[in-house]
Structure 1
Amino acid sequence: MSEPRLVRNPLVSKESVRTLVDGSRDFHRSMPAYRPTPLAALPAAAARLGVGSVFAKDESSRMGMPSFKILGASWACYRTLLAHLGRPVDSAISLDELKAELAVGPGLRLVSATDGNHGRAVARMAALLGLSAHILVPEDMVPARIDAITGEGAEVEIVAGGYDDAIRRSAELAADDALVISDTSWEGYTEPPSWVIDGYSTMITEILDEIAAGTVPPPTVVAAQIGVGAFAAAVARGFSGRPAVRLVGVEPTDADCVTASVEAGGITTIPGPQRSIMAGLNCGTPSVIAWPDVSAGYDTFVTVTDAAAEEAMRLMYTDGLVSGESGAAGLAGITTHAAELGLGPDDHILVISTEGATDVANFDRITGARLAG
């Protein structure tokens, strides 16, 4: 495993980052169990770092799912199905109406590759709409995450290799009756991943609303974990109008495809498969559609070890926040590179805990909690 590193972004150009697309929020508000998720204070983390405050957007429970991914997956599924039916996006039909319309046509299947949370969210949407789901997962996915996907009623196919191999297999399955809902893009496939990014805008807008209301201090540093870059692109768009805010992109040391691409000056695929415990970040190739905003929007990219992610999970749990391995990556990036980032008491840090304990047994092992029993 390579050593953690910090890379100052030579490609930064915040004025070129696209603005946030907020068209999904009314749709999300219409979904069962929608409510804004909390911004949780992390005083133990602030004391450890010697900064004014640390707040975490807590995505451990989002519309009945243990991750923020339902935001992007639901909007991408909705938009993809509307397009499939030839309906305009502004038709504003409800999920129940969409389900009824789909029921009178030929059977459809939603297909997606995943490291866990995105695929589970796609499977949930398929179930809500009366469709079948075929989810591709890498061979090293832990049984708890596979069980969570099958628990949504989906068929799971285990693919030899890593996440990139699962992506390739999902693309092979695309057909008139099999719609691929991916959160990464490739040549010739960009619309659903762009809708995933747009779907995440609901969460970013919730954060911006709280900052505007004075509920939390305006952040000076925002850390966002990077897999293929969809979530990181949404964060970049949300803060593009605040150039004084430093954006820090965080990746595992052995799944650093965006950092490597920034160093190379363009999209690069790194050797795989990637095996970090930060399973949602185990990606070898940046998303084509996310790359322009991620490469232009971040001041700094950092990489972190699995041990740092585990320590960040424990630190967050000290303040009562349950964060999974990928969810804790943002804080891990800040704690690992605090000195190089030059943090001080005037800094206010915002991280996004993108998932809860999606592998409860591992969470209990790392933190000493007893969530499993």
Structure 2
Amino acid sequence: MKDLDHLKLPRAGETSSRFTKEQALAAQKFHQTLPGYSVTRLVELPALAKELGVKDIFVKDEASRFGLNSFKGLGGSYCLFHLLSEKYGWSGKVESFAQLKDQIASLEEKPKIISATDGNHGRGLAWICHLLGLRCEILMPAGSSEERQENIRKLGADCRRTDGNYDETVHEAERFALEDDWLLVQDTALPGFEKVAQFIMHGYLTMALETVEQLKGKCPTHIFLQAGVGSMAGAMCGFFASLYGPDVPVISIVEPKTADCVYRTAEKDDGKLHNAAGSLETIMAGLSCGEPCSVGWKEIRAAASHYFRIEESVAADGVRVLSSPLENDPRVLSGESGAAGFGTAFELLFHKAQYQEEISSLGLNSESVLLFFNTEGVTDRKNFLKIVWEGAFAEKV
């Protein structure tokens, strides 16, 4: 029995012009002014590539980004920069973190920031609010990791759990923002907040731009992107499609089976968004989302051609393999969400006999160059040790 479902859907048209190299350069220019900015590493895994029968494997490792253990600080910081510049008429006057902080300090009444999170986005937002001296309220769904919640609180944010799942928590944050005049920083692209999601997605482009620069002219043939609401995946789809044009790599979108809103939307392919149902419970907490981002989906539909929904065991294997390198390959410490895309490719290539149809459909062969984004490090140490030391989630659950 296979540990994943696969759907092939030919690309539909062209991506928008909203996620180009020019927008990536603008985002990077701002991020370079932030305290603690440095380019995260691009890891090459030649020994693993040889073992799996492909030409090369690259992993963009976001575990060290701003000391936050994920890439999410890129989106929240850039979005807040734009939202505040628009709200107070600072556009064109404020171009750096220092200038933004000075302008905020001069306000008699400072804005209040709110968001919902499974962990990483809220931590990134709490971090930038702490640096800017802004009050921040973060809501987390029921059952969220205590470690992730505590990491948010350590940055000075008020953080509480709700009684609902992720999507219900997002809507609670939305109601709070509308009723009490807080700024909502959310990438779900709720009605009336689409621009907010787009600003967050623009922030993610710094990660893509760094990757291209680090590849030094090498072009990936395949990119695997994990998706929650699809904002990161959408931003990457838009960027790489714009950059490579007709030579865009084969892009695959990966989700948990229990939170498969992008897969369902692709499966229906009727021009509408389709939500995942139920508790959305998964070890891939950052992907536990039931409502796709409309802005992200447009880019995904135009650039991606393969969709996967995976069992917990696939992500867990990804965590284990990245943390246990072959020969002289570097070690990559990843969380369950960060390893989902990598785990999917590993599942296919390590169990070739079981996945001949999928491998053929993807065009994976000895000349393939695979690119992955490890979007988080170890954000829940207890669960990481269960997976790596105790072999948790080795079977379907």
Distance 1:3 1:254, change over 3 A: farther
1:346, CA displacement in angstroms?
A: 0.7
Question: How do 1:229-268 residues align onto structure 2 when only pairs under 5 Å count?
Answer: 229-240=230-241, 241-242=243-244, 243-244=246-247, 245-265=249-269, 266-268=272-274
What does the per-residue CA deviation read over 1:256-285, in whole Å, with 9 as the maximum and x for residues that have no partner?
100101111221112122011000000101
Unaligned runs of 5+ in 2: 326-330, 350-354, 391-397
Question: How do 1:86-125 residues align onto structure 2 when only pairs under 5 Å count?
Answer: 86-88=89-91, 90-103=92-105, 104-125=107-128
SS in 2 for 1:139: coil
> 1:17, 1:297 within 8 Å by CA — same for their partners in 2?
no
Letter matched to residue 9 of structure 1: L
Correspondent of 2:321 among 315, 319, 322: 315
Unaligned runs of 5+ in 1: none
SS in 2 for 1:277: coil
1:14, CA displacement in angstroms?
A: 5.1
> 1:223, 1:249 within 8 Å by CA — same for their partners in 2?
yes
> 2:261, 2:289 within 8 Å by CA — same for their partners in 1?
yes
C-alpha root-mean-square deviation of aligned residues, in Å? 1.8
Q: Which residue does 1:77 correspond to in 2?
A: 80
Q: In 2, distance between residues paired with 1:366 and 1:48?
A: 22
> 2:259, 2:288 within 8 Å by CA — same for their partners in 1?
yes
Q: In 1, distance between residues paired with 2:174 and 2:303?
A: 29
Q: Does 1:325 align with 2:336?
A: yes
1:157, CA displacement in angstroms?
A: 2.2
> 1:42, 1:316 within 8 Å by CA — same for their partners in 2?
no
Letter matched to residue 279 of structure 1: A
> 1:250, 1:333 within 8 Å by CA — same for their partners in 2?
yes
- Percent identity at matched positions? 33
How many pairs align?
A: 363
Q: Which moved more, 1:264-273 or 1:134-143?
A: 264-273
Greater share of residues in helix: 2
1:168, CA displacement in angstroms?
A: 0.3
> 2:274, 2:292 within 8 Å by CA — same for their partners in 1?
yes
Q: In 1, distance between residues paired with 2:135 and 2:193?
A: 22
What does the per-residue CA deviation read over 1:157-205, in whole Å, with 9 as the maximum and x for residues that have no partner?
2111211011000100114741011121121111111001100111101
Q: Which residue does 1:367 correspond to in 2?
A: 388
Q: Which moved more, 1:95-104 or 1:157-166?
A: 95-104
Moved over 6 A (4+): none
What does the per-residue CA deviation read over 1:321-343, in whole Å, with 9 as the maximum and x for residues that have no partner?
10110010011121233431332
Letter matched to residue 341 of structure 1: I
Q: Does 1:189 align with 2:210?
A: no
Question: How do 1:148-297 residues align onto structure 2 when only pairs under 5 Å count?
Answer: 148-175=151-178, 177-211=181-215, 213-214=216-217, 217-240=218-241, 241-242=243-244, 243-244=246-247, 245-265=249-269, 266-297=272-303
What does the per-residue CA deviation read over 1:203-222, in whole Å, with 9 as the maximum and x for residues that have no partner?
101111123x24xx421100
* TM-score, normalising length: structure 2: 0.87
Q: Which moved more, 1:147-156 or 1:266-275?
A: 266-275
Distance 1:218 1:263, change over 3 A: same
Letter matched to residue 221 of structure 2: T
